[in-house]
Amino acid sequence: MSDIADKSVRYRTFVDALGGAQCDLRAYVSYLLGNTAAVDDVVQETNLTLCQEWERYDATRPFLPWAKTLAYYQVMTYLKTVSREKILFDETVVDFLAVMDTRAEDGEAVADRQLHWLEEGIKTLPQRDRSLINFRYRHRYTLIRLSRRYQMSVATLSLVLIGIRKKLGVFITAKMREEGKYGL
């Protein structure tokens, strides 16, 4: 049998095994996450990874344990990403609430000024960054969906978003300092 024919047979075997394992993979990811909103995204990311790694699959061994191992790593990647986002968001919210609670001038809430400067800061961003922010926060795209749209890995996208949030934070802080709203 030629190498091409052998590879074709191996690929068909892989595709059949992947198709047959979908219910089990979804159940496994759902069990690990417990978050039904993210299960479809993680299963889809797992399927993409499996397809990218298909040549590493040993057809003489059971498919499901191998697929579950890759699914496990996709779940772990998702959980790390979510935990990082929540930590950043929680710090931002705590800081925002603390400032909002303690500062106001001429009846204009600090929160309103921060929102104003956030909107102004977004206008100063390059088009790609504005678009990323818009899809992520206004349209509530998941990181996985956004990474596909912009053809970036989830890890790279997370780093880009962190950088954008930091830029916006610096911009807002500088403008609030200029106005004397932070007492800095």
Q: Could you read off the pLDDT of 33-49 as tens digits, one per residue?
A: 776 678 889 999 999 99
Residue range 118-123: mean pLDDT, rounded: 90
Contact assessment for residue 64 and residue 22, using Cβ atoms and an 8 Å cutoff: no
Start-end ranges of CATH 1.10.1740 in the chain? 3-76
* pLDDT band at 98; cut points 50, 70, 90: very low
Q: Among residues of the chain, what percentage have pLDDT more than 90?
A: 14
Q: Span 4-10, mean pLDDT?
A: 81
CATH of domain 3-76: 1.10.1740
From residue 23, give the alpha-carbon distance in Å to each of 11, 14, 149, 154, 174: 20, 16, 26, 24, 52
Predicted TM-score (pTM) of the model is 0.46
Span 47-97, pLDDT tens digits: 999 999 888 888 888 888 888 888 888 888 888 887 665 544 444 554 454
Which residue did the predictor score with more confidence, 84 or 150? 150
pLDDT of residue 150: 93
Question: What would the mean pLDDT of 5-12 be, rounded to a whole number?
Answer: 83
Tokens of 146: 């956004």
Position 123 confidence tier, pLDDT thresholds 50, 70, 90: very high
| Residue 1, pLDDT score | 56
- CATH 1.10.10.10 in the chain, residues? 103-179
42 Cβ contact partners less than 8 Å away, ≥ 6 residues apart: 29, 33, 71, 74, 75, 78, 144
Domain spanning 103-179: CATH 3.50.50.60:
no
| Cα–Cα dist 36/20, whole Å | 21
